[in-house]
């Protein structure tokens, strides 16, 4: 855990990042243990705001611990304070903040408005939260699957980042010492199998994303050959331009149609000058999000999305 805020001389701990399902399960566990909890939710936004509709934060341990986020900053700090005050009994309240400030004042520079709700629960709310957890589980089941071919250092970070942006993660490698739940706690499924047979054990559909980051060119080529036989939405392979061209040329010589080869994103990731495994993983996940949200449009410049939404 890491300390994020000091409010009224009380240090507030933030637990690891959690999706909605994990937050509800955490709340149920706390209520079972006799604690009261508060759920803070971004209910509405206008203009540019750090927290988006649906962002959630759990406040518990008498207001000394939180999980999740509603966007950070002073607004989040204020909501922690208010939630802590409300924890003694079940209640609900709505708050609205105008963020049209400047860089020198406390409101920040977002220029929008945000409405948040606080709901506090005791053990009598267990059935309600159990129902919300079931609904969250159904929503997560609809999230796209990311299939990582390879369980090395880059895959380790891809899995962590991808889970945070709502991809379900499957990790594939023939080395059990690398592909295991201890190393990949964010993976929904782990497949320990030779690369030639990996896709026999995975259900790939038109919403799936495949990222090939194995430990060598030979394994990459085999994984890519298998991936191209699937209807995956995205197929990306790590490597230099020279390596990519060599592998694609070999597959072309084997009779793989050019139309299929054109599906491959490689070199993989958006151009951010990545060097370390963490940075490379981040660039790859950025590309996954871009394809998911924008499709095959050309690269976008900074703040293009905000301009599309009519923001300055």
CA distance 32 to 192: 37
Average confidence (pLDDT) over 147-176: 94
Task: Give the pTM.
Answer: 0.65
Tokens for 72?
Answer: 């950070």
pLDDT at 306: 38
Give me the percent of the chain exceeding a pLDDT of 70: 88
- pLDDT of 1 higher than 60: no
Query: What's the pLDDT tens digit per position in 217-235?
Result: 899 999 999 999 999 999 9
- pLDDT of 272 higher than 70: yes
- pLDDT of 5 higher than 70: no
Q: In Å, how far are 107, 166, 209, 268, 299 from 292, measured between CA atoms?
A: 32, 11, 9, 15, 14
Query: What's the pLDDT tens digit per position in 32-42?
Result: 999 999 999 99
Average confidence (pLDDT) over 164-183: 94
Average pLDDT of every residue of the chain: 87
- pLDDT of 10 higher than 90: no
Q: Which domains occur in the chain, in start order? A: 2-135 (no CATH), 143-294 (3.40.50.720)
Give me the percent of the chain exceeding a pLDDT of 90: 69
Average confidence (pLDDT) over 265-290: 93
Predicted confidence band at 164 (pLDDT cuts at 50, 70, 90)?
A: confident
Query: What's the pLDDT tens digit per position in 139-151?
Result: 787 789 999 999 9
pLDDT at 9: 53
Query: What's the pLDDT tens digit per position in 43-69?
Result: 999 988 888 899 999 999 999 999 999
């Amino acid at each position: 855990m890491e300390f994020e805020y000091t409010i009224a001389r009380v240090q507030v701990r933030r637990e690891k990042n959690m999706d909605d399902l994990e937050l509800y399960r955490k709340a149920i566990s706390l209520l079972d243990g006799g604690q009261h909890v508060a759920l803070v939710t971004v209910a509405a936004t206008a203009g540019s705001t750090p927290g988006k509709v649906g962002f959630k934060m759990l406040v518990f341990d008498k207001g000394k611990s939180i999980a999740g986020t509603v966007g950070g900053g002073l607004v989040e700090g204020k909501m922690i304070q208010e939630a802590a005050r409300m924890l003694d009994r079940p209640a609900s309240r709505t708050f609205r903040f105008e963020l049209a400030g400047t860089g020198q004042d406390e409101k920040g520079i977002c220029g929008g408005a945000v409405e948040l709700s606080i709901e506090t629960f005791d053990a009598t709310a267990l059935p309600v939260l159990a129902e919300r957890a079931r609904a969250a589980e159904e929503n997560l089941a609809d999230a796209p699957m990311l299939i990582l071919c390879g369980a090395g250092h880059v895959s380790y970070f891809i899995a962590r980042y991808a889970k945070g942006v709502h991809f379900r993660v499957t990790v594939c490698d023939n080395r059990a010492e690398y592909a295991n739940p201890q190393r990949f706690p964010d993976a929904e499924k782990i497949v320990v199998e030779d690369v030639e047979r990996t896709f026999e054990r995975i259900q790939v559909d038109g919403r799936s994303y495949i990222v090939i980051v194995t430990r060598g060119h030979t394994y990459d080529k085999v994984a890519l050959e298998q991936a191209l036989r699937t209807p995956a939405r995205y197929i990306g392979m790590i490597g230099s331009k020279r390596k990519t061209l060599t592998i694609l040329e070999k597959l072309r010589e084997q009779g793989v149609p050019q139309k299929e080869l054109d599906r491959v994103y490689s070199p993989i990731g958006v151009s951010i000058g990545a060097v370390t495994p963490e940075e490379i993983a981040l660039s790859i996940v950025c590309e996954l999000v871009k394809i998911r949200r924008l499709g095959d449009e050309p690269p976008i410049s900074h703040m293009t999305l905000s301009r599309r939404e009519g923001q300055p």
